Amino acid sequence: MAGPFYPRFETLCIHAGQRTEAEAQGQSSVVFVGNSFRFRDMDHAASLHALATSGHTSSAISNPTVATLESRLAALEGGVAAVATATGMAAIHLAMTSLLNAGDHVVATHVLNPKTRQLLTRTLARLGVVTTFADFRDVRAVRSAMRTDTRLIFAETVALPTGEVTDIEAVAAVAREYTVPLMIDATATTAYLMRPIDLGADIVVQCLGGYVCGSDTAIGGVVIDSGRYDWSSSGYYPQFTQAAADDSGIHFVDDFGVHAYSMYLRYVGLADTGAALSPLSALQILQGLDTLSLRMQRQVDSASAIATFLQAQSSVAAVHWPSLETHPNYALARRVLPRGAGAVLGVSLQGGREAVDVFVRALQLIEHQGGVGTRCTSVLHPATTTHYLYNSGDLSQCGIGDELVQLSVGLEDTDDLISDLSRALRQVAKHAERQP
């Protein structure tokens, strides 16, 4: 008798997820664009709305095409379920607000994506949630930031553009010690380079418009539930462990077990916010997901060659990429990111802001825009764009200065990219020679 079959990553990218009867007739995913779905009879309609039967009532909550994407992403990450959203920030917002209440405390890494930081310090702070930002390079600092009212730890696999890598196993140990969930943003790495759940994360969030989609033609986000956190043991999350205050009487832990969090995300959080992913966007992301492993490995390999080239240039003060031996997180990256630490480089130029301006203007092939993880290589100056609201102290704490540019490596020929960078760096050197 043949043993069980466990598909590998590349196979899961193409075949994992629910398959409808229509999909079984061909090799491509089918898009269901309708907003509402027919019921067999009144009993079927009532059963679906009471969550007694699985199925779809409205694309604002669930949709067959979106469900295929969700199942595929959950399989790739090793989670029990996933909920897709309209954007990456919608996913983070949904994941956090489904957990947190007024008076709760969050411990987050000090090098967060600026949009996530703004969510915590602006929107959630206004609603009574307090956040402490800690240096996650030292697990003792994480433990020191914990309080009796801490309800969430949040970090990223790799912080951009400095390449700070989170030791998820060490931080997960602190989360278990304080009986709170660990949420990880894996946008910079995807499941191809790292599966945070395998390292102890309870919840994974991602923006899907970059590496996963790949073509820069769709935006979306996802929350992936590991199914491992015991919502009942801590007593911190009554929304999951007590019967709903409305007339439904739903008790998410008792009724849905390991799917309690993901079901709450969908039927309370998603239903209340309306941040559902469009079925057309889900189809475009599914089409990109087919080639994720091929694209990402090529981008990582190209980033490695470019990082090595840049290190040898006199106009470059430093290259920030964890897979380089000169990076302070090199040893950690080798352990948790054996395929490579992503395809985004932080590049510090000699000559500060003036050098950056000359460099960006001289680039011809590489685009000046903020996309990360797409097919096109791009460059950005974080201090005046993504991090423009940060004061000098915040920028210094994040390792971002006027001399730093972010380089997101795409799928172009590596030698062509190096030629473009070489040409721009020659202009930087010439500019420096003209200075008094």
- 340, 414: one domain: yes
- 205, 174: one domain: yes
Q: Three-class SS of residue 274?
A: coil
Tell me how far apart the alpha carbons of residues 211 and 286 are, in angstroms, rounded to a whole number: 12
- Domain end residue (candidates: 230, 263, 281): 281
Q: Let me know: does 201 contact 154? Beta carbons within 8 Å.
A: no
> Is 277 part of any domain?
yes
Entry pTM: 0.93
- 238, 304: one domain: no
> Is 258 part of any domain?
yes
Rounded to 5°, angle at Cα 273 from 240 and 387: 105
As given in the structure block, the two tokens for residue 417 are 């990219």
Closest by CA to 108, choosing from 162, 163, 148, 146, is 146
Query: What is the chain's length?
Result: 436
Are β-strands 344-349 and 81-85 bridged in parallel, bridged antiparallel, or unpaired? unpaired
Tell me how far apart the alpha carbons of residues 348 and 366 are, in angstroms, rounded to a whole number: 17
- 161, 303: one domain: no
> Is 214 part of any domain?
yes
- 190, 136: one domain: yes
Residue 204 lies in domain: 59-281
Query: Which residue is it, tokens 């994360």?
Result: 201
Q: What is the CATH number of the domain that holds 256?
A: 3.40.640.10
Instruction: Quote the distance between the C-alpha of residue 131 and its chain's center.
Output: 20
> Is 312 part of any domain?
yes
- 250, 230: one domain: yes
- Give me the amino acid identity at 409: V
Instruction: Quote the distance between the C-alpha of residue 205 and its chain's center.
Output: 5
Instruction: Quote the distance between the C-alpha of residue 419 and its chain's center.
Output: 31
- 245, 353: one domain: no
Q: Domain total for the chain?
A: 2
> Is 169 part of any domain?
yes
DSSP string, 118-137: HIIIIIHHHTT-EEEEE-TT
- 336, 188: one domain: no
> Is 12 part of any domain?
no
Q: Let me know: does 189 contact 218? Beta carbons within 8 Å.
A: no
- Domain end residue (candidates: 281, 315, 348): 281
- 255, 396: one domain: no
Rounded to 5°, angle at Cα 142 from 139 and 147: 145
> Is 45 part of any domain?
no
Q: What is the CATH number of the domain that holds 418?
A: 3.90.1150.10
- Domain end residue (candidates: 231, 246, 281): 281
- 266, 327: one domain: no
- 111, 255: one domain: yes
Q: Let me know: does 52 contact 250? Beta carbons within 8 Å.
A: no
How do the pLDDT tens digits run along the chain, 436 residues long?
456 767 888 888 888 875 544 444 444 567 887 777 788 888 777 777 777 778 887 788 889 999 999 999 999 999 999 999 999 999 999 999 999 999 999 999 999 999 999 999 999 999 999 999 999 999 999 999 999 999 999 999 999 999 999 999 999 999 999 999 999 999 999 999 999 999 999 999 999 999 999 988 999 999 999 999 999 988 999 999 998 776 567 899 999 999 999 999 999 999 999 999 999 999 999 999 999 999 999 999 999 999 999 999 999 999 999 999 999 999 999 999 999 999 999 999 999 999 999 999 999 999 999 889 999 999 999 999 988 888 888 888 888 999 999 999 999 999 999 999 999 999 999 998 887 7
> Is 191 part of any domain?
yes
Closest by CA to 123, choosing from 92, 146, 151, 154, is 92
- 295, 367: one domain: yes
- Other CB atoms within 10 A of residue 258 CB: 17
List, in order, residues 6 or more apart from 246 with CB less than 8 Å away.
none
